[in-house]
Amino acid sequence: MPPRRRELLISAAGLPLAAAHGAARRLRVPQDPAGIGLERSHPAQLLRLALAAAGMPVELEPSPESLTQKRAIFELARSGGTLDVLWTMTSVEREQQARPVRIPIYRGLNGWRLLLASAETAARMREVRTLAELRRFSLVQRLEWPDTNILQANGLDVIESASFDAMFKQLRLGRADAFPRSVKEIWRELEHQGRGLTVVPDICLHYPAATYYFVAPGNTELAAAIEVGLQRLRVSGELERLLLKHHGEDLARARLGSRRVIELSNPLLPPQTPLDKPELWYRT
């Protein structure tokens, strides 16, 4: 089926759904982990726009407390849970627990990783050219993150931490060499938490990764509405415009096209991931 016809059929599928909703619907979502609030959060803004495009206006209600990724998935999946939607990086396990909407909201930017390190370590790491050379360095990651398992599966030395703030401290104390962070978050973290640290020049890591919206396993109506809205925003160009509004400066500063890319595999990636649709993914 031609792509344009498929897009029109997907949009048409949302029309009965759109007609069924009038007043704004309340959706419970996690607090923004960056602490910037839902009004400024890229995924929250995109979720509202997508559902409006599908004819389902919503009001987002943040969770009363900050939730770890593991806890948020649990609350979404359990009967009587406290969340209706969340956005997080996918994995086989997570797609077994909750229902994904398989349109990557960051176009895979989660898998483009720069490295935070001390200036001394950065001077050594910038010369890394292969995965084998990268294995000589230790990398710190949070215990529950999928990225931890991805890095370990590639034979990398990963030091696990239960605390986000502690990872920066570990770098400053020399207990780990580097902290891989996605291109969309590293510059903000460098500014606010990166005292004494720098971004390693000349290299970056890449593995296929997707952040999706997830809903409860049985909530097919909401999943369909989000997918219809995201497809409409993609066709109109709004999906890309919103991404660049929030992360265009991050991408320009990262200069990914001028860095050596060390490719990693992602064994956690579900086979249903739409890697065969280049229009959904960022390319340098």
Residue 130 sits in the same domain as residue 170? yes
Residue 99 sits in the same domain as residue 115? no
Residue whose pair of structure tokens reads 């997907």 in the numeric block? 10
Total domains, the chain: 2
pLDDT in tens, 168-223: 999 999 999 999 999 999 999 999 999 999 999 999 999 999 999 999 999 999 99
Residues in the chain: 284
Q: Is the pLDDT score of 1 beyond 60?
A: no
**Residues 167/170/176/181 CA torsion (nearest 10 deg):** 30
pLDDT in tens, 121-162: 999 999 999 999 999 999 999 998 999 999 999 999 999 998
Residue 9 sits in the same domain as residue 93? yes
Q: Please report, for the domain that includes residue 48, its CATH number.
A: 3.40.190.10
Residue 113 sits in the same domain as residue 19? no
Please give the model's pTM, rounded to 2 decimal places.
Answer: 0.88
Rounded-to-integer distance, Cα 97 and Cα 91, Å: 10
